[in-house]
Amino acid sequence: MVMDRASAQYDIEKKSLIVAYLLWAFLGYVGAHRFYLGRPFSGLIMLSLSGLVLLLTFVSFGVLSFLWVLVAIWWFIDALLIPSIAARHNGVIADRLFGRR
């Protein structure tokens, strides 16, 4: 009975790779996938960086638009990191719920 409850709670709290990749694909440049995966600090940094680059691009009339390369590089690297971030997050949840540590 306790194990069923823990298993149900795990299913509720675990993070889906499909959702993470959808967020990455459509809102990844603002760090939405990082917020979803429980990484609010790096998500906030990514959001701030994107906002700053957007502002600088408009203010400089496109002269500083090459700064989008920084956001794009981070965005592409995150595509490779999403499975490990999700696995780590789900492992922490499992350890807490099933008393593995």
Of residues 59 and 16, the one with the higher pLDDT is: 16
Other beta carbons within 10 angstroms of residue 82's beta carbon come to: 20
Q: Does this model's pTM top 0.85? A: yes
More confident call, 94 vs 34: 34
pLDDT higher than threshold 70 for residue 14: yes
- In the chain, the percentage of residues whose pLDDT exceeds 90 is 59
Report whether pLDDT(93) > 70.
Answer: yes
Give the confidence band of 82 by pLDDT, cuts at 50, 70, 90. Answer: very high
Q: Exposure of 14 by Cβ count < 10 A (0-12 exposed, 13-18 middle, 19+ buried)?
A: middle
